[in-house]
Amino acid sequence: MQYSIDDYVLDLRKFELRKQGLVLPIEPQVLAVLALLVENHDRLVSKDELISVIWNDRAVSDSAISSRIKSARQILGDDGDAQRLIRTVYGKGFRFVGQVRPIQAGQQSPRSQSGNCNVGKPSIAVLPFISMADDPVAVISEGLPHELIVGLSRLRWLTVIARGSSFRFRGGDVDLSQVGQILSVRYCLTGTVHLAGLDVAVAVELVDIAPGTIVWAELFEGPLGSIQEIRERIFAQVISALEVQIPLHEADAARLSAPEDMTAWSSYHLGLKHVFRFNASDNAIALGHFKRATDLQPSFARAHAGISFARFQNAFLKHSGEVAEEATLARRAADKAVELDELDPFASLMMGRSLWLKADLEGSIPWLERSVSLSPNYAHAIYSHAWAQMVLCQPAEGQRNVREAMRLSPIDPMRYAMVATDAMTHCMLGDYAAAAALADRAAREPRAHVLIAAIAAACQLLAGNRAMSQHWAADVASRAPGLTQKDFFRSFPFSDSVVRQRLSTAFSALGF
């Protein structure tokens, strides 16, 4: 049996308490006390009954009982003064007075049925950074968190608490669990600023509040005289990192949820986890999760953009034999995403990418630029712009953008594609040695698809490294025996005939 209590689900079968899909750390005895009270929420549970059920009639002190009740209240955001959920009836026992909704098997929790596309949406509070110095670093300790609040607010998939609320929590002794309860947020971004002589160091942490674990952390350092440049670098990299780290963490958390408890957002994030693995089986799983998200919430723009992404992969990587149909479906889903939320950068990104499948690279550029303008530190949009410029044979512009994308997101799931794009810009500029080294690195990335190995084979041959070119050609043949250069140029329709001929000659020499 499962019970819904506000944002919580008490699952008696699994003997766990979840909040927004996350399993909360709770002592078994405290959970047993909570379960007893919730199951009998329609009546008073006497102290004697509590002792009998939980402690098997052993002698127990009042302080032990009070401790378990206090812990049960705290994890639900209640306390002994408010007694909003668990009420003490002095001299008699305890009663659960919060609203309890039984969840039948196969039924979604009430939060999933609300019809609000923000249900399950990740939420964050950015706290003032702790300063170990005085005025010289105020631009970071006070100014940077405020800028981050503004910047993160542009990520439409993330709920960001306003400065007026989050800046009430100052100092090094802030209890993040209390912040989470008061502000109803899942994540906190915190920072510490240190001065060491003429150098400044800023440590930034993203914390998942419920378990109290660090999701992502980074240390930024530099000379005090360059504090403005440091501030700008931290701003750009934090925004870009959270764009990647929070969705991946949400996907890991969603995997722990029972299917009946999955919200549209949980399904969406699980889809992201699979779609970035760039293989046919995971892409099919991702498409299923994205479709389920739109079934749960038809107006969920990001989930429709996710469907477009999965359909794009089916066409671009030929996961499906129906390339033309997949291209049409990718465009249709992108259209729907833009229609539902024209300010979502992911929707604009997928609109741009869907146009690639129709070889309309020129038409894709305005959509990719729009995506970047909506979210200036969106590494995937910046990379996609660079890719389009590369295929349009604008290597200098493409190289500048792809390096910016890699700077913003150094551990991105699409890192292999970014490095391969950088390799191709070097190839176009005639620097074959650098192109070969970069392409080799890209092809060795775990997620790299077979077309990246084809790029590595061509670049190595152009650099005069025949043994390595044959190595990558054999890798292509083993992974995609029927791949031809026609397939490659369908996905990479280079506009310059000289570039195309140069690559075609290399592919012909390698047997493609």
* Phi, psi values for residue 447, rounded to 5°: -90, -5
Query: How much is the pLDDT for 351?
Result: 96
Instruction: With cut-offs at 50, 70 and 90, classify the pLDDT of residue 190.
Output: very high
pLDDT in tens, 22-35: 778 788 888 889 98
User: Tens of pLDDT along 255-283?
Assistant: 655 555 567 888 898 888 889 888 889 99
Nearest 5°: CA angle at 143, between 139 and 149?
155
Q: Is the pLDDT of residue 6 over 80?
A: no
Average pLDDT of the residues of the chain:
86
- Is the separation of the CB atoms in 347 and 337 below 8 Å? yes
Instruction: Specify whether the CB–CB gap between 73 and 79 falls below 8 A.
Output: yes
Residue 107: the pLDDT is 47
Q: How would residue 108 be classed by pLDDT, with cut points 50, 70 and 90?
A: very low
Give the confidence band of 325 by pLDDT, cuts at 50, 70, 90. Answer: very high
Would you say residue 29 lies in a domain? yes
Same domain, 134 and 167: yes
Cα dihedral 483, 485, 486, 490 sign: positive
Examine the pLDDT at 397 and tell me if it is beyond 80: yes
The answer on 156 and 97 residing in a single domain is: no
Gap between the Cα atoms of 379 and 336, Å rounded = 23
Which DSSP state fits 114?
S
pLDDT confidence of residue 402: 95
Residue with tokens 């090094």: 172
Q: What was the pLDDT predicted at 20?
A: 65
Max mean pLDDT among 70-79, 89-98, 127-136, 391-400 falls in 391-400
Phi, psi of 501 (to 5 degrees): -65, -40
Q: What is the pLDDT at residue 117?
A: 40
Q: What is the largest CA-CA distance in the chain?
A: 90
Range list of β-strands (E), 291-372: none
437 pLDDT band, cuts 50/70/90, is very high
Do 512 and 405 belong together in one domain? yes
Residue pair 96/86 in contact (Cβ under 8 Å)? The answer is: yes
User: Are residues 367 and 290 both part of a single domain?
Assistant: yes
315 lies in a domain?
A: yes
Say if strands 159-160 and 123-126 run parallel, antiparallel, or are unpaired.
Answer: parallel
Query: Residue 200, Cβ neighbours under 10 Å: how many?
Result: 23
**Which residues lie closer than 8 Å to 418 by C-beta, 6 or more apart?**
383, 386, 402, 405, 406, 412
Overall domain count for the chain: 4
Average of per-residue pLDDT across 316-332: 91
**Are residues 304 and 212 part of one domain?**
no
Do 428 and 347 have their domain in common? no
Is 477 contained in some domain? yes
For residue 224, what is the DSSP state?
Answer: G
pLDDT at 14 over 90: no
Name the helix (H) or strand (E) containing 193: strand 187-196
Distance from C-alpha of 216 to C-alpha of 208, rounded to nearest angstrom: 9
Helix (H) or strand (E) holding 16, with range, is strand 16-19
Res 110: pLDDT:
42
386: nearest Cα among 360, 406, 410, 357: 406
Q: What is the mean pLDDT of residues 196-205?
A: 86
Burial 386-410 (b: 16+ CB within 10 A, else e): bbbbbbbbbbeebbebbbbbbebbe
Q: Which residues contact 276 (CB under 8 A, 6 or more apart)?
A: 413, 414, 447
Note whether 136 and 88 are same-domain residues. Answer: no
Per-residue model confidence (pLDDT) at position 134: 59
Instruction: For residue 336, give its domain range.
Output: 262-377
Task: Answer whether 449's CB lies under 8 Å from 483's CB.
Answer: no
Asked whether the beta carbons of 56 and 74 are under 8 A apart, the reply is: no
Cβ(412)–Cβ(446) under 8 Å?
no
Q: Can you count the helices (H) and strands (E) in the chain? A: 22, 14
- Residues 268, 233 share a domain: no
Q: Each residue of 55-104: pLDDT tens digit?
A: 877 888 888 899 999 999 988 888 888 888 999 998 889 999 988 888 75
Statement: residue 111 has pLDDT above 60: no
Question: Do 474 and 501 have their domain in common?
Answer: yes
Tell me how far apart the alpha carbons of residues 201 and 208 are, in angstroms, rounded to a whole number.
23
Position 464 scores a pLDDT of: 95
* pLDDT cut 70: percent of the chain above it: 92
Q: How far apart are CA 453 and CA 476, in angstroms?
A: 6
Shared domain check, 144 and 78? no
137 occurs within a structural domain:
yes
68 and 127 assigned to the same domain: no
CATH of the domain at 494: 1.25.40.10
Last residue of a domain, one of 377, 410, 440: 377
What's the whole-number mean pLDDT along residues 179-207?
A: 87
Domain shared by 290 and 357, yes or no = yes
CATH code of residue 164: 3.40.50.10610
Q: Is residue 20 part of a domain?
A: yes
pLDDT at 224: 81
Q: Which of 493, 451, 216, 218 has the alpha carbon at shortest distance from 313?
A: 451
> What span, in angstroms and rounded, lies between the C-alpha atoms of 383 and 399?
10
Domain containing 60 — which CATH number?
1.10.10.10
> What pLDDT sits at residue 28?
81
Amino acid at 91: G
Of 68, 505, 91, nearest to 80 (Cα)? Answer: 68
As a residue count, the chain comes to 512
Q: Which pLDDT does position 470 carry in this prediction?
A: 95
Q: Which residues of 71-89 are buried (b: 16+ CB within 10 A; e: fewer)?
A: bbbbbbbbeeeeeebbbee
Residue 193 included in any domain: yes
Mean pLDDT of 422-445: 95
Q: Which of 101, 52, 98 lies closest to 73, judged by CA? A: 98
Q: Which of 1, 5, 32 is nearest to 101 (CA)?
A: 5
pLDDT at 296 (0 to 100): 87
The mean pLDDT of 343-371, rounded to a whole number, is 93
281 C-beta neighbours (distance < 10 Å), count = 10
CA–CA dist 169, 91 (Å, integer): 38
Is residue 254, in this structure, part of any structural domain at all?
Answer: no
**Which pLDDT score, from 0 to 100, does residue 154 have?**
82
Domain assignment present for residue 497? The answer is yes
